[in-house]
């Protein structure tokens, strides 16, 4: 199988990512709805759990697509309430709760096994799960090819979700086959617990990644805010522009842009530059070994 190669970040690559994720969302949503309907109709907890997991995969794909679209529109601007780290963490937490619920329901059913009628409903569910697995496997391979062509991390993550979703469905399918052969739902209850564990585990990983990114950005913002307040304490500084911290071994290098008070000229500007650099290198809040200071006048011209 071969795929077209796009320049990473190009409009063609973005379009390929968007179209591929939309196909995955549609297919996952269709199978989630079908499994939900049949799971409710036949009161099958394992199939219901699998339906929720498939729907969760569609939700996560939709959120990733929203994040990518916001990033392309905003060019790194502050993310909205639906595309930021906390929103992703909240979505993942709700998915985690669904996983825990199905673990509990599966455990309750496992402790009270019952005979299941070996009728046409089991055959229908087996066919539905088999079609679902086949569709997700085909979409997985298609997504992998498009991910390589577009150089997209979003598509790689989507492909991983498709493969895990197919494995979860395979667990339920195995339980249904055991019901068809033995007429006992104990294995199917175990499959419901397994799918619930899949859901909860995937959600915990997503929560960890979302919060890690959010906290990393928050810490960086607090660093810059603390240093800006420190710089404003230096006589002659009117305001602070950009502050960039770069790791250098176990310490930091800082690039700082400041605006001088009106009226400072020539040697005074140079002295202010040295004073700010010395102050930052001597402060004890962060381990800054070297500081590069750019001084500008209010009209924005460098000295």
> Quick one: 213 and 289 in the same domain?
no
The two three-digit tokens of residue 214, written as one number? 């959010």
Residue 92 is encoded by which pair of tokens? 């993942």
Question: Is residue 282 pLDDT above 50, yes or no?
Answer: yes
Task: Please check whether residues 249 and 207 belong to one and the same domain.
Answer: no
Residue 90 lies in a domain: yes
Which one, of 103, 108, 109, lies nearest residue 197 by Cα? 103
Q: Write the burial class of residue 44 (CB in 10 Å: 0-12 exposed, 13-18 middle, 19+ buried).
A: buried
- Is beta strand 251-260 parallel, antiparallel or unpaired with respect to 288-296? parallel
Indicate whether 164 and 286 sit together in one domain. no
**Domain annotation covers residue 2:** no
Number of domains in the chain: 2
Closest CA to 177 of 118, 132, 137: 118
Q: Does the residue 5 lie in any domain?
A: no
Does residue 61 register a pLDDT over 60? yes
Q: Domain holding 30: CATH number?
A: 1.20.1510
Residue 292 CA, chain-centre distance (Å), reads 35
pLDDT tens per residue across span 136-150: 899 888 888 887 776
> Quick one: 184 and 86 in the same domain?
yes
Please give the residue range of the domain that contains residue 169: 11-219
227 found inside a domain = no
Same domain, 84 and 36: yes
Q: Quick one: 145 and 276 in the same domain?
A: no
| pLDDT tens digits for range 177-221 | 887 787 767 777 787 787 778 778 877 877 776 666 555 554 455
180-188 LR contacts (CB < 8 Å, sep 24+): 180/118, 180/122, 180/123, 180/126, 183/115, 183/116, 183/118, 184/113, 184/115, 184/116, 185/109, 185/113, 185/114, 185/115, 185/116, 186/110, 186/113, 188/44, 188/45, 188/46, 188/109, 188/116
* Position 224 in a domain: no
Instruction: Find, among 77, 75, 87, 74, the residue nearest to 214 by Cα.
Output: 87
**Residues 277 and 169 reside in one and the same domain:** no
Tell me: do 96 and 206 sit in the same domain.
yes
pLDDT tens profile 73-99: 544 444 444 444 566 667 677 778 877
pLDDT of residue 60: 76
Residue 243 in domain: yes
């Amino acid at each position: 199988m071969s795929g077209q190669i796009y320049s990473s970040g190009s409009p063609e690559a973005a379009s390929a990512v968007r179209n591929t994720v939309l196909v995955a969302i549609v297919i996952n949503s269709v199978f989630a709805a079908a499994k939900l309907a049949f799971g409710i109709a036949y009161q099958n907890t394992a199939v219901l759990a699998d339906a929720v997991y498939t729907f969760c995969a569609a939700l996560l794909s939709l959120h990733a697509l929203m994040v990518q679209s916001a990033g392309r529109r905003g060019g790194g601007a502050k993310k909205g309430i639906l595309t930021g780290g906390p929103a992703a963490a909240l979505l993942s937490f709700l998915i985690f709760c669904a996983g825990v619920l199905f673990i509990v329901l599966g455990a309750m059913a496992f402790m009270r096994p019952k005979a299941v009628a070996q009728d046409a409903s089991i055959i229908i569910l087996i066919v539905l799960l088999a079609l679902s697995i086949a569709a997700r496997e085909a979409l997985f391979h298609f997504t992998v090819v498009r991910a390589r062509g577009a150089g997209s991390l979003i598509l790689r993550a989507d492909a991983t979700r498709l493969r895990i979703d197919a494995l979860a469905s395979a667990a339920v399918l195995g339980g249904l086959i055991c019901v068809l052969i033995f007429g006992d739902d104990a294995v199917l209850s175990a499959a419901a617990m397994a799918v619930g564990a899949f859901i909860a585990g995937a959600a915990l990983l997503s929560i960890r990644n979302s919060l890690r990114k959010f906290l990393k950005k928050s810490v960086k913002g607090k660093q810059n805010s603390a240093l800006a307040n420190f710089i404003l304490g230096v006589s002659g500084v009117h305001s602070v522009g950009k502050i960039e911290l770069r790791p250098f071994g176990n310490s930091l290098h800082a690039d700082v842009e400041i605006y001088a008070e009106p009226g400072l000229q020539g040697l005074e500007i140079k002295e202010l530059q040295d004073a700010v650099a010395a102050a930052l290198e001597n402060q004890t809040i962060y381990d800054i070994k070297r500081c590069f200071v750019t001084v500008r006048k209010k009209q924005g011209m460098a000295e």
